[in-house]
Structure 1
Amino acid sequence: MPARIWVDADACPGVIKEVIFRAATRTGTQATLVANHAMRVPASPFIRFLQVASGFDVADNEIVRRAEAGDLVITSDIPLAAEAIDKGAEALSPRGELYAEGNIRDRLNMRDFMETLRASGVQTGGPSALSQSDRKAFADQLDRWLTRRAATSNAR
């Protein structure tokens, strides 16, 4: 089965979704957005929307259940990225950071550390606004993944 893109769509910025829509349509790659609230997606045979029930990690769990080795999971959720990598999928943040076996454990540890700080009352602030360089980094990483996918498909 060809590799697919799974999008943790609840928190994915609109501009990143647009990049995904264009890339999926351009390359004929199946992209599925998973969220617990309705959202519009373009009419395309390559773009799907899957609405799941509301609840903590329901969308994440559905992505993990459906993702397969070789797929790409787009998320800013570090635990979801780690689970996807454990299944043999790749994971990419909307800011263009490619998560891999070599860096995901460090990212999980940092996330847990920051969560502990916040729980103890330390104000850590949130992430900065998505910048133009973040968008470019995402588009570049997505393009690299799509290129590798096409090369792998052509080699078969």
Structure 2
Amino acid sequence: MIYVDADACPVKAEVVRVAGRYGVAVAMVSNGGIRPSREPFVETVVVPEGADAADRWIAERIGPGDVCVTGDVPLAARCIEAGAVAVRHNGDAFTAQSIGTQLAMRDLMADIRAANPLAAGGGAKPFGPRDRSRFLQTLDRMVRAAARD
């Protein structure tokens, strides 16, 4: 199963494409506002509004052999802890070896942003075609590996 943290996810169409190729079910989880897919293997899950409701829904269900698509580091950590794999929208895989460092970096950056009320310093890099291509390659590799296991 592929679980997608679908709020503001730029690669939903790519997930559906890879899932269709391998016959894998998909759960697009959000607080609402996404268009349901016409594909029968894609379930649109609308969770109640609230902080991290979609994350909780995914974390309660994901397990070994599953893939999570998310940009949320704490959700990725919970997925890895449950035996699943996780990937960012740009194709960077979260791993058991790197998740601790990524959680620490996330917390550090939150502290830096809180200390800089004028928000100087820019933001995330724009999402581009290379990110989309790398995501497709990584997701394809993860789904094939999960099928082998």
TM range (shorter): over 0.9
Does structure 1 retain, via aligned residues, the 8 Å contact 2:27–2:43? Answer: yes
RMSD across aligned positions (CA): 1.2
- Between the two proteins, the alignment pairs up a number of residues equal to 147
Q: What is the TM-score of this pair, normalised by structure 1?
A: 0.90
Does structure 1 retain, via aligned residues, the 8 Å contact 2:37–2:44? Answer: no
Which runs of no fewer than 5 residues in structure 2 stay unpaired? none
55, 72, 94: which one pairs with 2:67? 72
Q: Which residue of structure 2 lines up, in the alignment, with residue 105 of structure 1?
A: 100
What does the per-residue CA deviation read over 1:40-98, in whole Å, with 9 as the maximum and x for residues that have no partner? 13222211110000000011001101111221110000011011111111010001010
What does the per-residue CA deviation read over 1:93-150, in whole Å, with 9 as the maximum and x for residues that have no partner? 0010100110011111111000000011163422111111111110000110122133
* Bigger mean CA deviation after superposition, 71-80 or 113-122: 113-122
Runs of 4+ aligned residues of structure 1 deviating over 6 Å after TM superposition are none
| Separation (CA, whole Å) in 2 of partners of 1:125 and 1:50 | 33
Which runs of no fewer than 5 residues in structure 1 stay unpaired? none
| 2:69 equivalent to 1:93 | no
| 2:60 equivalent to 1:59 | no
